[in-house]
């Protein structure tokens, strides 16, 4: 991926001499954090709403041992835990990438769960050596594009080991969503940065992600 400098200017309209120009890589890094998953902002709003509703119920109840008190307490705790997990996932993307080893099936499953997609197909029992948090995010974006829009989505996947790497194929079964280009640009940035490659087949039936073997 070409690294293009993006200038910002001073009051005269000339490129600012004090601050270095932003690059494509730095802009995509910011985009990656802002788009941790397509449903991130919706999920946050939903969890917060559940938490607030539960807390409103608590304020209307008395502390007299009423068993109805326990249900809203548990709902508030559960909603806050889910929201905290979402925020921690997003925060992890702001940290320097640290390479680790993870099973391919676990990596792809976590990515699919993040965007609410159910997987079909068998994956080989192999490991990949990647920066787990950002690559999980990148795969989530790619899976989301391949699965298309709607609820209850299922996506067929397959993989093969070849030349010291692993090629994961996401078999597209629906029209691409409107944000497909943006999502794939971010996913490509992350995968390439981690020593891999992402491409779409000319027929448009697969998104293929090559990752280094663990």
Query: Considering the domain boundaries, does residue 125 fall inside one?
Result: yes
Which pLDDT tens digit goes with each residue over 132-150? 988 998 999 899 989 988 7
- For all residues of the chain together, what is the average pLDDT? 79
Number of domains in the chain: 2
- The residue with greater pLDDT, 155 or 32, is 155
pLDDT at position 161: 93
For residue 14, is it within any domain? no
In this structure, the answer to whether residues 121 and 190 fall within a common structural domain is yes
pTM, full prediction:
0.67
**pLDDT-derived band of residue 118, with 50, 70 and 90 as boundaries?**
very high
Same domain, 49 and 150: no
Q: What is the mean pLDDT of residues 55-62?
A: 70
Given a cut of 90, whether residue 155 has pLDDT beyond it is yes
Distances from the Cα of 173 to the Cα of 11, 122, 125, 144, 165, angstroms = 51, 17, 25, 11, 25
Which of 92, 112, 132 corresponds to the end of one domain? 92
Q: Domain ends where: 92, 110, 132?
A: 92
Q: Both 186 and 87 in a single domain? A: no
pLDDT the model gives residue 62: 57
Of the two residues 201 and 90, the one the predictor is more confident about is: 201
170 and 154 inside one domain: yes
* CA atoms in the 13 A half-sphere facing the CB of 154: 3
By residue range, what is the domain housing residue 205? 99-212
Domain harbouring 147, CATH code: 3.30.565.10
Residues 156 and 104 in one domain: yes
pLDDT tens-digit readout, 176-203: 777 788 788 888 888 988 899 899 887 7
Angle among Cα 168, 175, 32 to the nearest 5 degrees reads 55
Q: Is the pLDDT of residue 50 over 90?
A: no
């Amino acid at each position: 991926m070409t690294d293009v400098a993006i200038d910002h200017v001073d009051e005269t309209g000339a490129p600012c001499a004090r601050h270095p120009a932003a690059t494509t890589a730095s802009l995509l890094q910011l985009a990656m954090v802002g788009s941790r998953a397509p449903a991130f902002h919706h999920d946050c709003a939903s969890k917060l709403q559940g938490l607030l509703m539960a807390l409103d119920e608590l304020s209307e109840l008395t502390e007299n041992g009423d068993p109805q008190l326990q249900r809203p307490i548990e709902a508030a705790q559960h909603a806050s835990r889910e929201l905290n997990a979402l925020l921690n996932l997003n925060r992890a993307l702001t940290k320097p990438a640290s390479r680790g080893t993870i099973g391919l099936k676990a990596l792809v499953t976590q990515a699919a769960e993040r965007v609410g997609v159910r997987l079909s197909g068998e994956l080989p029992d192999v490991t990949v050596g990647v920066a787990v948090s950002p690559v999980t995010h990148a795969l989530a974006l790619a899976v989301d594009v391949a699965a298309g829009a709607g609820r209850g989505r299922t996506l067929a996947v397959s993989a093969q080991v070849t030349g010291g790497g692993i090629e994961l194929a996401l078999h597209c079964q629906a029209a691409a969503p409107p944000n497909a280009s943006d999502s794939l640009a971010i996913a490509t940035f992350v995968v390439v940065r981690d020593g891999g490659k992402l491409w779409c087949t000319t027929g448009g039936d697969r998104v293929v992600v090559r990752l280094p073997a663990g």
